[in-house]
């Protein structure tokens, strides 16, 4: 049995995470590439920074529609086949983005792209929860979510190169809309919903893993939230919604307007693509470090708050120092540590609290409401830039939202230090107490 325990994690991390990682890297690419296209697109379609923010942000209005249904279908039907369908459809809408002829068409296609991508995030979280026990959950989540900064690192230079060589933003959307359609076939072949369906692990390994996960599903912090009416109306759920809302405002605000800020500073489009990637390189280090630290200590709240503070303080300082563009940009790059590193502990906390019957739909609600920040951040940065003629006030707003996120994290109550007892151990560890992340 010891060999089983040793080999199972290695195989799962190697077989599942890379496939899910590439799938969502493609998804994130198709939602953020508009940031680099906006400078030339705004001239061709004749719109100002306010409409640019709306074009980026309306994606997240559409993003609302499949969140709860997506989490529910992934839990009750199949995460694998639900995501397969969405891969095909969002690829088509991504290509259509390059074919729009006016602002109305652009907003409509961006909205529909948001609808089709909306169910992917909660469905993937459900898929990972079916494969990784609690003591591996933050690492599994963060390794998957490395796709967010990696997509930004890859997409920004790649999109900049496409624009620099073709001088046509329409080709950018065409070239970057094809990969999800191709990847759908590989997804269907390689992904399985649960260990019991996978032929690449032994029967003993499947039995061991399914038993551990079944024990976990019965041990949640709030079993009283077992119906959707209870879970979706609970203050606990809405606290997570609020925290996630304040986290997405700076994340998407930066990704949508950092290229324009750098272009305004006089950088060429090729160099803008390279510099835009740097905060996301720092974010990769944050994701790796925080996921490991959270799982090793089995503390969640501390590892949500620390990245939020780093992000908030850095963005505020960068905004206040925009008269010194080199210093401001360096600080903003370092603030990238907090852009995504909180995500693994955050979603592990939501899944730990919610019963299995409602966790998929509850995570969908949290993601739906939270991602409204993806509309608010870009739109208000664009609005403030139009009103003031500078990005200073907009980026200051983004930093304050990250600090609000850190403050709200103090309200989370979750059992810390809790691990799933190993089935081959004779004695189980003592039951953890409900306590703060700092052990208090």
Residue 154 clears pLDDT 90, i.e. is over it: no
Retrieve residue 349's tokens: 């906390």
- Global pTM value: 0.79
What integer best gives the mean pLDDT of the chain?
85
Task: Give the architecture (CATH level 2) of 2-195+221-415.
Answer: Up-down Bundle (1.20)
The 3-state DSSP class for residue 419 equals coil
Reported as a single tens digit per residue, the pLDDT across 104-143 is 999 999 999 999 988 999 999 999 999 998 888 889 999 9
Question: Token pair of 405, please?
Answer: 């996120």
pLDDT in tens, 352-404: 898 888 888 899 999 889 888 878 888 888 888 888 887 888 899 999 999 99
Taking Cα atoms as reference points, which of 175, 17, 31 lies closest to residue 117? 31
Q: What is the mean pLDDT of residues 316-322?
A: 89
Query: Which of 172, 349, 332 lies closest to 250 in space, CA to CA?
Result: 332
Q: Which residues pair with 414 in a beta bridge?
A: 435
Structure tokens at 64: 């609302």
232: helix, strand or coil:
helix
Predicted local distance difference test score (pLDDT) of residue 417:
65
Per domain, the residue ranges of the chain are: 2-195+221-415
pLDDT of residue 19: 94
- Examine the pLDDT at 429 and tell me if it is beyond 80: no
Instruction: List the beta bridge partners of residue 223.
Output: none
Coil, helix or strand for 435? strand
Question: Is the C-alpha dihedral spanning 354, 356, 360, 362 positive or negative?
Answer: negative
- Residue 3: its pLDDT value, please? 46
**Per residue in 260-291, pLDDT tens?**
778 777 777 667 777 888 898 899 999 999 98
> Picking from 92-106, 185-199, 256-270, which range would have the lowest pLDDT averaged per residue?
256-270
């Amino acid at each position: 049995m010891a060999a089983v325990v040793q080999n199972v994690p290695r195989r799962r991390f190697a077989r599942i995470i890379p496939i899910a990682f590439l799938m969502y890297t493609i998804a994130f690419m198709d939602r953020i590439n508009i940031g680099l296209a906006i400078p030339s697109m705004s001239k061709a379609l004749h719109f100002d920074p306010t409409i640019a923010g709306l074009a980026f942000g309306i994606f997240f209005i559409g993003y609302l529609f499949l969140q709860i249904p997506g989490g529910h279908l992934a839990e009750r039907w199949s995460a694998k086949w639900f995501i397969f369908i969405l891969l095909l459809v969002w690829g088509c809408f991504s290509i259509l983005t390059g074919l729009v002829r006016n602002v109305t068409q652009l907003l409509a296609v961006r909205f529909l792209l948001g609808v089709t991508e909306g169910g992917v995030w909660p469905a993937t979280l459900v898929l990972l929860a079916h494969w990784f026990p609690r003591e591996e959950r933050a690492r599994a989540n963060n390794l998957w979510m490395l796709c967010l900064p990696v997509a930004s690192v890859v997409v920004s230079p790649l999109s900049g190169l496409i624009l620099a060589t073709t001088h046509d933003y329409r080709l950018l959307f065409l070239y970057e809309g094809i990969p999800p359609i191709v990847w759908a076939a590989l997804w269907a072949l390689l992904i399985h919903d649960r260990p019991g369906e996978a032929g690449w692990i032994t029967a003993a390994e499947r039995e061991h893993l399914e038993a551990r996960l079944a024990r976990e599903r019965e041990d949640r912090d709030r079993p009283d939230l077992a119906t959707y009416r209870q879970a979706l109306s609970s203050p606990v759920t809405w606290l997570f919604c609020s925290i996630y809302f304040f986290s997405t405002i700076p994340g998407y605000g930066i990704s949508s307007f950092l290229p324009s800020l750098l272009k305004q500073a006089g950088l060429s489009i090729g160099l803008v693509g390279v510099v835009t990637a740097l905060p996301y390189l720092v974010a990769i280090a944050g994701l790796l470090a925080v996921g490991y630290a959270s799982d090793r200590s089995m503390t969640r709240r501390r590892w949500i708050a620390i990245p939020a503070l780093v992000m908030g303080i850095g963005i505020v300082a960068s905004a206040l120092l925009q008269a010194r563009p080199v210093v401001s940009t360096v600080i903003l790059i370092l603030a990238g540590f907090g852009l995504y590193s909180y995500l693994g502990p955050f979603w592990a906390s939501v899944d730990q609290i919610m019963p299995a019957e409602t966790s998929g739909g509850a995570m969908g609600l949290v993601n739906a409401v939270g991602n409204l920040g993806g509309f608010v951040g870009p739109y208000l940065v664009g609005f403030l830039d139009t009103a003031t003629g500078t990005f200073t006030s907009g980026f200051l707003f983004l930093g304050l939202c990250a600090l609000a996120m850190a403050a709200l994290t103090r309200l989370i109550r979750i059992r810390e230090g809790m691990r799933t007892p190993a089935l081959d151990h004779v004695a189980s560890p003592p039951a953890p107490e409900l306590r703060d992340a700092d052990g208090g």
